[in-house]
């Protein structure tokens, strides 16, 4: 599917973009991968990191807020993976207008640029925070998701489809709890603060996120939201896995923070299908005859929901400790 294709990644110098690029180069033979981002230094660093593949890579300076630049960049591109976003919850709360410009207006620019060129598929990265949002970041990503789903209605006769991949914080990603705990321990800390003892999260690795995006590129027909089946863990168990026997003072939930990550709501259950390793939430509106459920799935019962606190698969302290060995925190 990706062999001899040109793929563009917005926000491509981030942790996902680098992991996606490496995975594609190791498993496929793409014609070209375009890294589209606004940070020239990160592009310079990524060029050095991938110098053995430099003939397959192109680096474009650009911002998703700039539609003209996107249109120019999308010329000759087959697939677009939209990973650019303002992601830090506090930054979005304090800079709401900037979050809207990047996460909402930027999403619309990506859609318009794809419709105005010959792009065949667009996969947008979403987040659990877009489900029943309680902060501005989640609110902007909810609007972004709705825009990408509705974009299929604007495609007309064009051979293009838009879909979404939704997952929570990647284990070890910047701003998540694992690097926070790691830095406390590295600096000699003897206790790990817990915002709320009831808190749970899903565990997803970067590679699992990448593989789900590739599945979406391969299978999407338009409007689907792909969600991985992944295990849950308790934040208290994570603390004990990282610093066994440590005190865990409860410090109170932060602004815009949820107790649990929600991936599929009860309302979504009416159009959700379960597959071996993932769920797909199909759009409630149908725009063309291509939008049929992908074979191999089973419709979930009404009332079903999927969140980190009602999961059937849970990691033990020892399992968490083993998984932590796979994460590079330095």
Decide if 114 contacts 154 (C-beta within 8 A): no
Weakest mean pLDDT among 101-115, 211-225, 316-330: 316-330
Choose the most confident range, by mean pLDDT, from 105-114, 167-176, 284-293: 105-114
> In angstroms, how far is the first alpha carbon of the chain from the final one?
35
Q: How far apart are CA 210 and CA 20, in angstroms?
A: 5
Q: What pLDDT score does 22 carry? A: 96
pLDDT of residue 330: 66
List phi, psi (to 5°) of 82. Answer: -95, 100
79 pLDDT band, cuts 50/70/90, is very high
pLDDT at residue 112 is higher than 80: yes
Is the pLDDT reported for residue 291 higher than 80? no
The residue from 42, 87, 121, 129 that is catalytic is 129
Task: Report CA-CA distances (Å) from 141 to 102, 159, 190, 287.
Answer: 10, 25, 37, 23
Do residues 70 and 54 lie in contact, with contact meaning Cβ atoms separated by under 8 Å? Answer: no
Instruction: Please tell me the predicted confidence (pLDDT) of residue 328.
Output: 79
In the chain, what are the domains?
6-168+203-229+266-297 (3.40.50.720)
Residue pLDDT, tens place only, 225-251? 999 999 999 999 999 999 999 999 999
What is the mean predicted confidence (pLDDT) over 153-181? 88
Determine phi and psi for 95, rounding to 5 degrees: -130, 60
pLDDT over 70, % of the chain = 99
Task: Please write the tens of the pLDDT for every residue from 249-270.
Answer: 999 988 778 899 999 999 999 9
- How many residues are recorded in the chain? 330
Output the six-digit token pair for 37. Answer: 């981002």
| DSSP code string of 147-174 | HHHHHHHH-TTSS-EEEEEEE-PPTT-T
Phi, psi of 127 (to 5 degrees): -155, 155
Catalytic-residue membership of 129: yes
User: pLDDT class for 285, splitting at 50, 70, 90?
Assistant: confident
Query: In this model, does residue 175 exceed pLDDT 80?
Result: no
By the 10 Å C-beta count (0-12 exposed, 13-18 middle, 19+ buried), 305 is classed as middle
Contact 2, 28 (CB under 8 A): yes
From CA 146, how far away is CA 139, in angstroms rounded? Answer: 11
């Amino acid at each position: 599917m990706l062999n001899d294709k040109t793929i563009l990644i917005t926000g491509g110098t981030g942790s996902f973009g680098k992991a996606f690029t490496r995975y594609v180069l190791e498993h496929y033979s793409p014609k070209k991968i375009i890294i589209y981002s606004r940070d020239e230094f990160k592009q310079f660093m990524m060029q050095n990191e991938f110098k053995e593949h430099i003939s397959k890579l192109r680096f474009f300076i650009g911002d998703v807020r700039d539609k003209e630049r996107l249109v120019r960049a999308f010329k000759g591109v087959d697939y677009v993976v939209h990973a650019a976003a303002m992601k830090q919850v506090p930054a979005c709360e304090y800079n709401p207008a900037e979050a809207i410009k990047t996460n909402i207006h930027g999403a619309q620019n990506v859609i318009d640029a794809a419709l105005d060129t010959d792009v065949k598929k667009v996969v947008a990265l979403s987040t659990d925070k877009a489900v029943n949002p309680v902060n501005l970041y989640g609110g902007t990503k909810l609007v972004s998701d709705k825009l990408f789903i509705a974009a299929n209605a604007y495609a007309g006769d064009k051979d293009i489809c838009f879909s979404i991949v939704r997952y929570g914080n990647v284990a070890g990603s910047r701003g998540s709890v694992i690097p926070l705990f790691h830095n406390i321990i590295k600096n000699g800390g003897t206790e790990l603060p817990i915002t709320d003892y009831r808190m749970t999260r899903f565990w997803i690795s970067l590679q699992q996120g990448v593989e789900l995006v590739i599945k979406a590129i391969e299978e999407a027909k338009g409007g689907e939201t792909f969600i991985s089946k992944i295990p849950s863990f308790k934040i208290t168990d994570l603390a004990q896995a990282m610093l066994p026997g440590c005190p865990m003072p409860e410090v109170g939930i932060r602004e815009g923070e949820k107790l649990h990550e929600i991936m599929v709501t009860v309302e979504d259950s009416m159009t959700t299908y379960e597959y071996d390793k993932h769920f797909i939430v199909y759009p409630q509106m149908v725009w063309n005859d291509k939008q049929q459920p992908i074979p191999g799935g089973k419709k979930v019962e009404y009332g079903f929901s999927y969140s980190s606190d009602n999961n059937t698969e849970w990691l033990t302290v020892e399992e968490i400790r083993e998984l932590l060995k796979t994460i590079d925190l330095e």
